[in-house]
Structure 1
Amino acid sequence: MSKPRIVHLLDDTTTGGVTRVVTHICNSQRLANQAHHEIRVIPKNTADVPVIEADLIVSHLTISWRGLAGLIALRAKHPNISLIHVEHSYTQSFTALNVAKRERFFSLLRTAYSLFDTVVGVSRAQYSWLVTRDLVAAERSCVIRSAVDLSAFAALEAPTGPCRVFGAIGRLEPQKGFDTLIMAFSQCQEPDARLRIFGRGGQHEELERMAQIDPRITLEGHAPDPVRAMSEVQAVLLPSRWEAYGLVAQEALAARRRTLVAPVDGLCDQLEDGAHRVARNTVADWTRAIDASLTADLSKIPDSQARLSERVAGVFERNWEGLIARSLVKELPVAA
């Protein structure tokens, strides 16, 4: 008897978090024992969605008004197949900072989510927002925290000595808050401290100009090997203005780096795994958090952080196994 065929729909194939998570699902040997997983790229905002031969379809698409017709077509062309949507994009903080007409935006999300049998939140914080805002019913949704293969990060040697080399890894875009970080770090008085920012994006020139005020701050460019970038820092800072989950935090924690996160969205999920919460996402609070890290004992890593790689992989795969099994028989999941 052949295995069920599960098709994952993507409209963004850049080497970002969404692509990495979906690739991780498709490469999982454990999940491959249950079903055959494959990726299909759908043009962003297309209304011409083809008929897809599959036993289960998982959308990782970005919801928008222009793309809504395509989601309606997806549902209409597959009336007897369970559809799952994984919400990688929208959060409470995203909405607060980027959406002027919120009720109109919420109407879009409610309409889009109603087309799916199950909506997956990628963090507990995001899931709570989706349900509290009545964007999706709790009985038609669940939480599966995002994950990628962390084994290479876990294999890195743990840092020792005083914390002096800080890193920020991600796209150079306003979402990531690296402008706040540069201003905060420049107020740190430790002459031996360093801030290394890895990434590329539309804010590169602006951040490069800002960094010129402090020779201790360097923009390292794109890091094709994130494991190597992680090996070159002792602490990782995530001052994101919004973040559905925050894979970089998981990678840093698995690598036993001191990890500081802004108090927003899915970054709050990282606290239980050993991350340190910055009180507020302001320049002053980030300066205080960096100063406090300068005296931190890097040798004292919580047991939960040291075991993170193995635990995350097991929980992620087990949750996807359960959701797939229920969806194939048209049973709805129970929210985590």
Structure 2
Amino acid sequence: MTDMPRILHLVDDATPGGITRVLDHIRSCPLMAQTARHELWTVARNAALPRCDADMIVSHLSLSWRGLPALISLRARHPGTPLVHVEHSYTEAFTALNVRAKLRFFTMLRTAYALFDRVVAVSEAQGAWLTRRRLVPAGALRVIPPVVDLAGFRALPAPQGAPRVIGAIGRLHRQKGFDILIQAFRQLPDAGLALHIHGSGPEEAALRALAEGDPRIRFFGHSGQPEKVMASVDLVAMPSRWEAFGLVALEARSAGRPVLCPRLDGLATSAGADGLFVTGHGIDAWARALQRALAATDSTPDRAAGCEAVFAEGWAELIASCCGHAKRAPQSAGAGAAPGTLIAAGLS
């Protein structure tokens, strides 16, 4: 156990969400603990990064021009330590919808990625985009789809009969496309249907305004019990405008719930082969797709078997390729935290 590599994960967004839950899984999963000791430091966004005593440093940071000096300093102060970046955010669809100065944006990404020994894409589609745009050299790229502990989702009984409750689960942000879903749902005449929206975010007031007057649409806010939320719905709709992976889709599959989503970015991976894919984001197209999905009664639960093992194997291979079997230097004061310890760096 003492010779296990110490892997330090840096994150600048500790708000509840998919990244936080994946990092919690990394630190608590027994499979992950078989090959390394994983620790987490929370740092301030775009601020100076700490000097780290670790066998490998993993960035889950938000990349930007403003944050580049901190990354350059991190690289300079750890010349012999493998650095890895996990790209949780940027995708082809994100860039198409949100980036005007694309050449400048791609220059920033190439510059940032070049500071790392490896870059991890969270889906095959994202990895293909990074390669196609020559943002990451092929030899430096790894694809490791994220995962959380899915046991609680797999334990849920699959819905019986035609779906009646549609679930929209996630941050209430333009990215998630819940505005499209609400307008499409309102075209369905069946008074016995329900749309349950679980989450919070900056678009809540606008979404409530879109739903006003339709008692079938209910808002439940953010929940810290995702399995309980999944148990309350029969089908999950994800009209996302961009999505690096789509953890909710993986959780829905594990719970035997159909997933309705566009085939873009990482959703083609997370929704699985049995995903119900919608072309585009047109409201009428989504209304028709909802009608088809709600009429289906013969879906077979997927349950996403083996995802946790694939995730652990991917990380084990990454760590072995970066760290080999070299023993790390003696720990400095405060570096011997137990596996899974959350360390707040306290930087400003």
Q: Equivalent residues in 2 for 1:137-216 (5 A)?
A: 137-216=137-216
Distance 1:63 1:183 in 2: 34
Letter in 2 for 1:232: S
Letter in 1 for 2:209: R
- Provide structure 1 residue ranges, at least 5 long, that are not aligned to the other structure: 331-336
**Deviation by residue 1:267-314 (Cα, 9 ceiling, x = unmatched):** 11134342111122221111011100121015x315xx13x1x41111
Distance 2:32 2:192 in 1: 47
Question: What is the TM-score when the length of structure 2 is the normalising length?
Answer: 0.91
Partner of 2:19: 18
Whether 2:316 is the aligned partner of 1:321: answer yes
**Deviation by residue 1:191-240 (Cα, 9 ceiling, x = unmatched):** 21110100001111111111114221111112221111111110000001
Distance 1:23 1:233 in 2: 25
Q: Which range is displaced more, 259-268 or 118-127?
A: 259-268
Q: Which range is displaced more, 237-246 or 265-274?
A: 265-274
Q: Secondary structure at the match of 1:119?
A: strand
Partner of 1:116: 116
- Give the structure with the higher percent helix: 1
Distance 2:268 2:294 in 1: 23
Partner of 1:334: none
Distance 1:196 1:282 in 2: 21
Q: Secondary structure at the match of 1:269?
A: helix
Partner of 2:300: 301
How much is the aligned-residue C-alpha RMSD, in angstroms?
A: 1.4
Partner of 1:30: 31
Whether 2:74 is the aligned partner of 1:79: answer no
Distance 1:13 1:270 in 2: 23
Distance 1:221 1:35 in 2: 36
Question: What is the TM-score when the length of structure 1 is the normalising length?
Answer: 0.94
Do the aligned residues in 1 keep the contact of 2:250 with 2:271 (CA within 8 Å)? Answer: no
Q: Secondary structure at the match of 1:252?
A: helix
Letter in 2 for 1:94: F
Partner of 1:241: 241
User: How far apart are 1:162 and its partner, in Å?
Assistant: 1.9
Q: Runs of at least 4 residues of structure 1 off by over 4 A?
A: none
**Deviation by residue 1:58-97 (Cα, 9 ceiling, x = unmatched):** 1100001111111101100100000000000000010011
Do the aligned residues in 1 keep the contact of 2:4 with 2:37 (CA within 8 Å)? Answer: yes
Distance 1:31 1:161 in 2: 38
Partner of 1:99: 99
**Deviation by residue 1:123-150 (Cα, 9 ceiling, x = unmatched):** 0010000000010111110100011111
- Provide structure 2 residue ranges, at least 5 long, that are not aligned to the other structure: 326-348
Letter in 2 for 1:311: G
Do the aligned residues in 2 keep the contact of 1:263 with 1:281 (CA within 8 Å)? Answer: no
**Deviation by residue 1:33-73 (Cα, 9 ceiling, x = unmatched):** 21111001111001x22210001001100001111111101
Q: Secondary structure at the match of 2:16?
A: coil
Distance 1:290 1:101 in 2: 36
Partner of 2:69: 69
Letter in 1 for 2:46: N
Distance 2:306 2:35 in 1: 20
Q: Secondary structure at the match of 2:52?
A: coil
Letter in 1 for 2:277: R
Q: Which range is displaced more, 111-120 or 158-167?
A: 158-167
Q: Equivalent residues in 2 for 1:247-326 (5 A)?
A: 247-298=247-298, 300-301=299-300, 305-306=302-303, 308=304, 310-326=305-321
Distance 2:239 2:106 in 1: 26
User: How far apart are 1:2 and its partner, in Å?
Assistant: 2.9
Letter in 2 for 1:138: A
Distance 1:145 1:271 in 2: 12
Q: Secondary structure at the match of 1:111?
A: helix
Letter in 2 for 1:84: V
Q: Secondary structure at the match of 2:272?
A: helix
Do the aligned residues in 1 keep the contact of 2:259 with 2:271 (CA within 8 Å)? Answer: no
Q: Which range is displaced more, 89-98 or 279-288?
A: 279-288
User: How far apart are 1:19 and its partner, in Å?
Assistant: 1.2
Letter in 1 for 2:99: V
Identical-pair percentage: 47
Q: Secondary structure at the match of 1:39?
A: strand
Do the aligned residues in 1 keep the contact of 2:145 with 2:311 (CA within 8 Å)? Answer: yes
Distance 2:91 2:104 in 1: 15
**Deviation by residue 1:80-117 (Cα, 9 ceiling, x = unmatched):** 00000000000001001110100000000000000000
Distance 2:276 2:61 in 1: 31
User: How far apart are 1:253 and its partner, in Å?
Assistant: 0.6
Q: Choose between structure 1 and 2 for higher RCO, CA contacts under 8 A separated by at least 6 residues.
A: 2
